[in-house]
Chain A
Amino acid sequence: MNNTNEQKMENFLEQLSEKRRTNLLPSLLKAQELYGYISEEVALKISKVLKVAPADIYGVIEFYSLLYSKPTAETVIRVCTSPLCSLKGADKIKQALFKKLNVEDGVPSTDGRFMVESVQCLGLCDQAPAVMVNNRAVCNIDDDSIDLLINGGGPGSKNNYYSDNPVITKRFGKIDPLSIDDFIKEDGFKGFFHALTFTKDELIYAVKSSGLKGRGGAGYPTGLKEQGAVAVEGRETYVICNADESEPGTFKDRIMLSSDPYSVLEGILITAYIVGAKKGYIYIRGEYSEVHDIFTKVIENATKAGYLGENIQGSGLSFDLEIRSGAGAYICGEETALFESIEGKRGYPRNKPPFPIENGLFGKPTIINNVETFSYLAQVISDKKRVVLTQGGSPSGTKLFCLSGDLVRPGMYELPFGTKLSEVINDWAGGVPDGEIGSIILGGASGSFVPEKYWNIPLDDQSLRAVGLALGSGVIMVFNKDRDILKILSDITVFFKHESCGKCYPCQQGTQYQNEIITRLGKGICYKDDSEKLEDIGLTMKDASLCGLGQTASSAVLSAMKIWPNLFEVSKGEVE
């Protein structure tokens, strides 16, 4: 064992202010960074310092994809194999890398220099195919970039965003994202100061009447959540920003946090003011190390400028924000799994009730919102007219849409609610290059295929709900006519099989069997009761799973079965 690494690990553990289980993930991530894996010896050391049972530590290491109990390699190349990257040739890239480096999937080379591993969505879907080389994203990979990326080069990631009437993206490109002065010059913190002139009840009323709903996928009214959290005033309360973004097709939070991070901080501060919280966390997915670095600076600068810490801007509000890094688990975006993760445990969702606003992180009332929700909240409150709104209305304003797949201009679009689906695809994203739309998925891997008769539907909650569709986190995936539906479904079902936490039976087992059947169908082998089996599995997951992951893991399959029933039937010809 390397001496200096040992010293570094020791120092890391030594400087931890809380030597408790909550620091387990940060400690394991540190060990992973230093040694490339977590040995028994290091795990035992961490166990002693944090007073966590060794078996529990092993359970945690084995849960998270970015933690390893066996040596990895100097350079780990993670190839995204989720639907969008798969479509654009991820498999070819993987095979080329295996061959060139003479390795197998997930097994380090004998000299310990390289490891190539298939992974799930990296949040770079608009620049597919993409890989991570250690902490560096390499995007739009073609045959030429393979040698480059092995040698530390290759095209990096970009922030592709477009809007002609920006609300929360209005500062994008105009400011240095790290400069708090730039932010302030562009009306930054206006919402926060505005909030200070109102009572909590007035603010909650303003948020409620603005119609703002959560942008993380579930769409719960933000004002109602705040009201619920205030109701338990007097108890210690936490505010959490959910930046775990791992839904295939979603990359908006990455762009938001790297283009205007202070606006997210502003929303967090306003929320802390409303619910009386003194401490908050921002949980950033482990693969977004650039975002992690940006937000570290943001916290540093904001603390220096008096926007974090004691008595913020003389308001009487004291608030601290801590960054927590995920470690490779989509399920940790689910709010209660995220709490477990911050508490240093396997990312198992909790049964609800109790709900986070009564019993969340460390058993305390907790308000958790998505990155986009916080940024929007700051806008809602900074707008004087909205704050004095007297009548509630339908969700007004704009939404961030993530477009990916076979498109001329994939990327993030800030557009008004109610914009037509076809308009977003054809007018904004430039339509399908040299071809026609074959199919559309709305909502990400957990979303559904959109029947052709709805391709013109206005993108707002009411219109979509009326026909059984949902916007989710705002993902629109577009596939051209040549794309194989079963291949898309195979990639989606692999995703869920890989990301199911395994706590509850319907999803633990259902994601496995769903994928087995779909993969076999993709190979042209069909049995006569396949549709029936897929329906039993799909509806059981939807109805009986413990959390949103299992409840939506069959959406894409079930929707495809309605649109293209013959893909799942023996009439297809091959096998009985």
Chain B
Amino acid sequence: MLTIYINDLELEVEEGSTILEASEKIGIKIPTICFHDRLTPPGLCRQCVVEVEGARVLMPSCITKVREGMKIKTDSERVVRARRTILEMLSSSTDLSESPDLLEQMKIYKAEDGRFENSSKRNFKVKDDNPFYMRDYSKCILCERCVQVCSADIQFSYALTTAGRGYNNRITTFFDRKLPETSCVFCGNCVAVCPTGALIASNEFNVKALGEK
């Protein structure tokens, strides 16, 4: 067991646990986006960052292991600024209307919806190229979970990839082919892990569209 301090609270935790796990144990909620407890944590959204005494930058709590004597602040000014700004940027570029968890986080962090000018808002036409599910990449937050489950984390179909670079990253298939022309087996794992409604079963999509009319 190791002794660590979270927000000045002393606690004993097992060696090998992450800061996120340790915090959960004492009921401190740290927000996450890309983390999924059954997938390899990619540590890419950085929403779970915390301040660790002595570290130059903030540390992602979902993948940072506790060390003896570690002093952690989960809600310092730097932490809150980072979380709020990440949400404000996401909401400026992406349609978060079907992401209840993110909308909830925006409330908690008093993030201003669409704070940054959106001359470059991500707008894509819905891809409807197979009978099973649709892809609305205007809602995609690039957590890359779908690519993970399609590849070595679960399915080994390798139909999906991230293409592009930086802000222009996008999830797609080999040469942007239609899904039926790829190695996709329509297992549905990607739809199951998508947190934002960018991937949605076709029947569900149609029901929603009807409801809106």
Contacts and interface: CB of A to CB of B under 8 A. Distances in A.
Interface of A: 40, 43, 53-59, 62-63, 69, 329, 346, 351, 497-513, 516-517, 520, 533, 536-537, 539-540, 542-546, 551
A544 B161 contact: no
26 contacts: A55-B159, A55-B172, A55-B173, A58-B173, A58-B175, A59-B162, A63-B164, A497-B167, A502-B168, A504-B43, A504-B45, A504-B46, A505-B44, A505-B45, A505-B46, A509-B167, A512-B120, A512-B166, A513-B117, A533-B115, A533-B116, A536-B84, A536-B88, A537-B85, A537-B116, A543-B78
A513 B89 contact: yes
A54 B174 contact: yes
A58, A346, A542, A551 — most chain B CB neighbours (10 Å): A58
A506 B151 CA distance: 25
A55 B116 contact: no
A500 B165 contact: yes
B6 interface: no
B89 A509 contact: yes
B82 interface: yes
Nearest to A540: B85
Given A53-B151, A509-B86, A511-B166, 15 more contacts: A53-B158, A56-B161, A58-B163, A58-B175, A329-B165, A498-B166, A499-B166, A501-B166, A502-B166, A508-B167, A510-B85, A512-B167, A516-B119, A536-B84, A543-B58
Mostly, the B contact residues are loop
B167 A511 contact: yes
Nearest to A347: B165
Given A57-B174, A351-B63, A546 B92 contact: no
Contacts of A498: 165-166
B172 A513 contact: no
Contact of B78 (A501, A539, A545): A539
Contact of A537 (B58, B89, B120): B89
A533 B117 CA distance: 11
Contact of B161 (A55, A501, A502, A540): A55
B46 A544 contact: yes
A576 to B, nearest CB: 15
Given A497-B166, A499-B166, A506 B43 contact: no
Contacts of A542: 57
Q: Which 5 pairs between the two chains have the least Cβ-Cβ distance?
A: A53-B158, A59-B161, A500-B166, A62-B163, A509-B89
Interface residues of B, number: 48
Contacts of A540: 81-82, 85-86
A53 B184 CA distance: 12
B174 A55 contact: yes
Nearest to A537: B85
Interface string B168-208: 11001111000000110000000000000000000000000
B78, B117, B160, B169 — most chain A CB neighbours (10 Å): B169
A517 B162 CA distance: 27
Contacts of A62: 163-165
A55 B182 contact: yes
A545 B46 contact: yes
B90 interface: yes
Interface string B47-69: 10100000001101001000000
Contacts of A510: 85, 89
A63 B165 contact: yes
B11 interface: no
Contacts of B161: 53, 55-56, 58-59
A236 B88 CA distance: 46
B165 to A, nearest CB: 6
Contacts of A512: 93, 120, 166-167
B103 interface: no
A351 B120 contact: no
Contact of B183 (A55, A58, A508, A551): A55
Contacts of B183: 53-55
A40 B167 CA distance: 25
B70 interface: no
A80 to B, nearest CB: 18
B142 interface: yes
A340 B116 CA distance: 33
A537 B90 CA distance: 12
Interface string B29-48: 00001000000001111110
B166 A536 contact: no
Contacts of B90: 505, 509
A69 B175 contact: yes
Contacts of A57: 174
Contact of A508 (B60, B85, B158, B166): B166
Given A516-B119, A543-B49, A543-B78, A43 B175 contact: yes
Contacts of B158: 53-56
A186 B97 CA distance: 69
Contacts of B120: 512, 516
A502 B167 contact: yes
Nearest to B144: A503
Contact of A55 (B58, B160, B164, B168): B160
A504 B57 CA distance: 14
